[in-house]
Amino acid sequence: MTAAQAAGGPHDHLVTFSVTTGSLWLRVLLVAGLLLVAAFALLRPFLTEQPRLAVELVTWAAAGAGLLGLLLTEGIDLPQQVALLLLIALAVPVTVTRARQPRLLAVTRHVRGVAPWVLALALVASGVEFGRAWLGGTDAAPVLLHTGLVIALVGLSWFTICRPRTRLATISVQTLVWVLATAVVAGTAHVAVLSSAG
């Protein structure tokens, strides 16, 4: 397995990953992780307060699926530096949910306050990638879909640590996350169809 390499091109915005472990079971893990995170986002408003262990599991699933998404695709439609930032962004909710020390808990309160903005940004960015994949009809659709899925996972992962303070903010966040989770399910299905066709 080699490190990410920036593919040469006129815009130099495609990151490719050379892997030899793109076996079926890793792809199944990727799909399972995507669907688990999306299901949590869709069902969370209807459930009582979730145990910390369940939230940790979802953040780990999002981080793992994001990493697999980067490794198993032929590339992503982002600069290499942005791909690294996405991995860091996926790690933040994991760290927040595992925080126990008083000093860390004080920091996590500020991080939770930023979560709705990260969710909104992820919705817009992933929406652009999904839109280009679904409306463009190009050979780059798999790359665009994988890019959209990884960005969407960042938003859904941050949703797990999001604590809106007002009713209006709660409704807004839930609306954003439902749209994002639905797009993830549709994108995952599309990726599965493309994989089986290939």
**Tokens 């303070």 belong to which residue?**
165
What does the pLDDT read at residue 43? 87
Distance (Å, whole) CA 114 – CA 136: 33
pLDDT at 119: 92
Cβ atoms of 94 and 108 within 8 Å: the answer is: no
How do residues 78-96 score in pLDDT, each as one tens digit? Answer: 888 888 899 999 999 988 8
| Whole-structure pTM value | 0.80
Going 64 to 67 to 70 to 71, the CA torsion angle's sign is negative
Q: 14: which 2 tokens?
A: 């495609």
Q: In this predicted structure, what is the pLDDT of residue 198? A: 57
Distance CA 160, CA 146 (A): 21
The pLDDT of residue 17 is 45
Q: What is the residue-level pLDDT of the chain in tens, covering all 198 positions?
A: 444 444 444 444 555 444 444 477 888 888 898 999 999 888 887 776 777 788 889 999 999 998 888 887 777 888 888 888 999 999 999 888 887 766 666 677 788 888 889 999 999 999 999 999 888 767 788 888 889 999 999 999 999 888 877 888 888 888 999 999 999 999 888 887 777 665
> In this predicted structure, what is the pLDDT of residue 185?
92
d(CA 155, CA 166): 20
What is the rounded distance in angstroms from the CA atom of residue 51 to the CA atom of residue 144? 35
- What's the residue count for the chain? 198
